[in-house]
Amino acid sequence: MKFLCCSDTHGRVPPALDEQGATAWLHAGDVYNCLKLGRKPEGRNDFDKMKSWLAQRPIPVYASAGNHDCMNPCNFDMCYDVDIAKITPKLSLVRIGWHNEKFDDIPMESTIAKVVERAMRTAYRSMKDGDHSILLCHWPPSLPPNSIPGIELKQEHGWIFRSVEMMVDALRPSAAIFGHLHQMERKTARVNDTLIVFPGQTGGTLTIDDETFLATYEPSNLRPPIR
Ligand SMILES: [Zn+2]
Ligand SMILES: [Zn+2]
C-alpha cells in the first residue's frame, strides 16, 4: 500500500506527488499558515489554490493539526484531538492533533501527554491484537540516541515530546509521520519495527508491505510552488 506524505506546507498546496496507485494523503500538520483564531484568518495562505487542490484529489486527504492550523477555512479532514480510522481491516490510521488559539502558544509535555493518553485508550478499544497502524501527528517524539546519524532529539519544551515517544513504543505502528521540526525534512529513523518519517514540505511516498506491514519511505525532490 502506498501513501503520500508531507508536512509543514504552511498555506501552500502540497507537492505534486504521483497519486497513481496511492491509498491516501497523510499531512502531518501546519497545513495552513494561520497565526491566530479569529473571524478572518491571518497569515499568508493560498486559500483558493488549497481549496481547488483539495477538491481535485482522487484519494482521501488526512491531516493532523499543527500549531499553525488554528483555523480550517478550506475544510481539510483535520484531526484536532484523537481519531482512529480503518484504512483496511488490518491497518488503522491513528491521528493525534493539538493546536491552540495562537500559533506561537505551543504545547507543554503535559498537554500532549493528555492527548496521547486518550489516543492510547481509543486505540486499545478499537484495535485488535495483530492489527497494524500508521501514526500521524505534528508533534515529534524524542528518539533514542543515534537513531538519525548526527542528530540527537532530546526533549525540549514545545518541540519534542517524551509522551509521543512512549506512544510509538506502546503502539508500535508500521510508520509514524511527524512535522514541526522543519530542519528534519526528508529524515527517517527506525525504532524497533517503526519507521519514523519527517516528510517536510517536499514530501514523499510511504510504502507499507501488504504481508509484513513493514514500512519504507522514498522522499521526493519536489518543492511546493513559489508564492
Ligand atoms: Zn511548521
Ligand atoms: Zn509546527
CA of 179 to the centre of ligand 2 (A): 7
Mean pLDDT across 35-60? 91
Domains in the chain: how many in total? 1
CA of 28 to the centre of ligand 2 (A): 9
Confidence of residue 224 (pLDDT cuts 50, 70, 90): low
- Does residue 87 lie in a domain region? yes
Q: pLDDT tens for residues 110-129?
A: 999 999 999 999 999 999 88
CA of 71 to the centre of ligand 2 (A): 14
The closest ligand to the CA of 200 turns out to be 1
Query: What is the value of pTM for the model shown?
Result: 0.95
CA of 191 to the centre of ligand 2 (A): 23
The closest alpha carbon to 116, from 169, 155, 69, belongs to 169
The DSSP element (H or E) to which 109 belongs, if any, is: helix 109-126
Q: pLDDT tens for residues 121-150?
A: 999 999 988 999 999 999 999 998 888 888
Round the average pLDDT of the chain to a whole number and report it. 93
- Does residue 135 lie in a domain region? yes
- Does residue 227 lie in a domain region? no
Mean pLDDT across 182-199? 95
Residue 227, pLDDT score = 63
- Does residue 34 lie in a domain region? yes
- Does residue 204 lie in a domain region? yes
- Does residue 197 lie in a domain region? yes
- Does residue 27 lie in a domain region? yes
CATH number, domain containing residue 132: 3.60.21.10
The closest ligand to the CA of 31 turns out to be 1
Give the range of the structural domain holding residue 190, as residue numbers without chain letter.
2-219
- Does residue 225 lie in a domain region? no
